[in-house]
Amino acid sequence: MKNETAQLAAATPNIAAAIARFAAALQPADIPAEVWSKSVHHIMDAVGLAFASHHFPFAAPGLAGIAAAGSPGAATVVGSPLRLAPRDAALANGYLMHALDFDDTHPGAIVHPTVACLPTALALCEDLDLNWGQLVAAYVAGMETSIRIGRAVKGGFHHAGFHATGLVSHFSAAVIAGKLMGLDAAQLTGAQGIAASTASGVQVFLETGAWTKRLHPGWGAMAGITAATLVRHGFDAPVRPYEGRFGFFETHMQTHMQGVDLASMAAGLGSEWTLLDTAIKPYPVCHFIHGAAEAALQLHGTLQPGEQIRHIRIELPADTLPIVAEPHAAKAVPRTDYEAKFSAHFVVATCLLRGRFGLAELEAASLADPEILALCQQVECVAEEGSTFPKHFSGAVTLTLASGETRSCRIPVNLGSGERALGRDDIVAKFRGTAGVRLSPKRTDAVLQALLTATPATPVRAITAVLGA
């Protein structure tokens, strides 16, 4: 395998250098209108989620720990009176934006790109007094970096035990930070080289629903800012982090290395905008469950009062079963909101009983609902035949009623993805629902207005002025 890896690497142009040239040259005027508009929508979505996270019990301990370990400064933490040094603010905002697992996902890459890209860009643009155009250009460069890394492995990071966002966030943040600091292409290459040594994020949180996944994108943002700062001060960095022997892919993918498409990472940079395929979530749960959740919601509408469900068969892409369906005993009785987000049993049962799945369904009362928990015991999860995963997060649900009747619904393309992407009005409505958990309607409107009317020349500090407590 190592000989094949070496031969492939030798035949591939330096990927980090290609990404660096693209990022260094990218200007606001180079960004197509549809890419700009979609970027603003994703930024808005992440900001709404950061506000909403303050409503939940994980927010205060996480922010207290970040503040205690970090340094005071002038950078804004969304929805909080905290003012921290840029690196620490990026960590805090990444934590808040990703904590509900309601943030965007690129299906082919299986990464959450915005929740590392935006915190990095926001903290540094505020600190350096840059404008909205510079923020969006850096954000776009980072999005293209993270998506292309994730897309190259075709979901392989998860098979190797890593949370993909925890890995790629280091690289995207290094590119964003370096661009905003004015590094040249050679220095941006070095910043990615350093990121290869900091990138990590294991999935052991799945065992107990621990909070570490929430930390991953913000940690990547902090590490990326550190990498760019080191290079700016003359730090000698590796220059072939991706394809080099003992580089990022070989060490993290190991036996899965043969599936990595290195050449795709730099192909079409500046003309093919991969961020356009990024999906905004309609439900606050792991994206792998979205097809099955939608199927359950449709079946809810067919159930009549008094009809009893005897068995639930959930079909999911085979690669997702270890994450959202196994082991049955644990998934059928989630103990925390985070375990519930990664339980196909709980999500589908809740959708069938309540006909909805929003933030309220993750509250303690829902987790303890005896009717939901009883229905979870009736669930069987199996591998879906003919799934287009990871292009789409498909799923199907079949109910067997006490009468012996069966009803089925299959969702081949999940809501929010591809041709079923959420529109502007849907995204604004979602923002009102998330930010509105924390903010008054008047304040929610003020934040929306600031984000949707910003021009390239708008100072980022004018935006952050409405994002604090």
Q: What is the pLDDT of residue 310?
A: 97
Task: Select from 375, 400, 418 the last residue of a domain.
Answer: 418
List the beta bridge partners of residue 383. Answer: 316
Confidence (pLDDT) at 99: 95
Same domain? 256 vs 311:
no
Q: Are residues 161 and 47 in the same domain?
A: yes
Residue 259: what pLDDT? 77
pLDDT at position 29, please?
Answer: 98
Predicted confidence at residue 258, as pLDDT, reads 75
Residue 377 lies in a domain: yes
Confidence at residue 358, expressed as pLDDT on a 0 to 100 scale: 93
The verdict on 75 and 24 lying in the same domain is yes
Query: Which residue range forms the structural domain that includes residue 191?
Result: 2-277
Say if CB 319 and CB 158 are below 8 A apart.
yes
Shared domain check, 125 and 185:
yes
With respect to residue 282, please indicate whether it lies within any of the assigned structural domains.
Answer: no
Asked whether residue 232 falls in the same domain as residue 269, the answer is: yes
Look at residue 209 in the predicted model and tell me its pLDDT. Answer: 79
Are 109 and 60 within one domain?
A: yes
Q: What is the per-residue pLDDT across 412-432, written as a single tens digit (0 to 9) for each?
A: 999 998 889 999 999 999 999
30: tokens are 């180079």
Instruction: Answer yes or no: is 429 within a domain.
Output: no
Answer whether residue 262 is part of any domain. yes
Residue ranges of the chain with per-residue pLDDT less than 70: 1-12
Cα separation of 189 and 192, whole Å? Answer: 5
Residues 214 and 349 in one domain: no
How much is the pLDDT for 12? 58
Encoded amino acid at 246, one letter: F
The answer as to whether 468 is a domain residue is no
Given 242, 277, 312, which residue is the final one in a domain?
A: 277
What lies within 8 Å, CB to CB, of 267 at 6+ separation is: none
Q: Are 397 and 295 contacting, i.e. CB atoms less than 8 angstroms apart? A: yes
Q: 370 and 246: one domain?
A: no
pLDDT at 9: 47
Would the pTM count as exceeding 0.85?
yes
CATH number at residue 256: 1.10.4100.10
Task: Name the CA radius of gyration of the chain, rounded.
Answer: 22
The answer to the question of residue 48 being in a domain is: yes
pLDDT value, residue 5: 46
Find the CATH number of the domain harbouring 302. 3.30.1330.120
Look at residues 301, 281, 374 and name the one whose alpha carbon lies nearest to residue 48.
281
Contacts of residue 449, defined as CB under 8 A and 6 or more positions apart, other chains included, come to none
On whether both 291 and 266 belong to a single domain, the answer is no
- Give the residue from 378, 394, 418 where a domain finishes: 418
Residues 329 and 264 in one domain: no
User: For 261-278, how does the pLDDT look when each residue is reduced to its tens digit (9 = 90+)?
Assistant: 999 999 999 999 999 999
- Alpha-carbon distance of 180 to 120, in angstroms, equals 10
- Give the pLDDT confidence score for residue 1 in this predicted structure: 43
Same domain, yes or no: 250 and 113: yes
Residue 152 · residue 262 · CB < 8 Å: yes
Residue 452 lies in a domain: no
Q: Are residues 295 and 255 in the same domain?
A: no
**Total number of domains in the chain:** 2
453 assigned to some structural domain: no
Q: How much is the pLDDT for 8?
A: 45
Q: Which positions ≥6 away from 238 have C-beta within 8 Å?
A: 190, 193, 194, 196, 197, 244, 247
Rounded to 5°, angle at Cα 284 from 117 and 427: 65
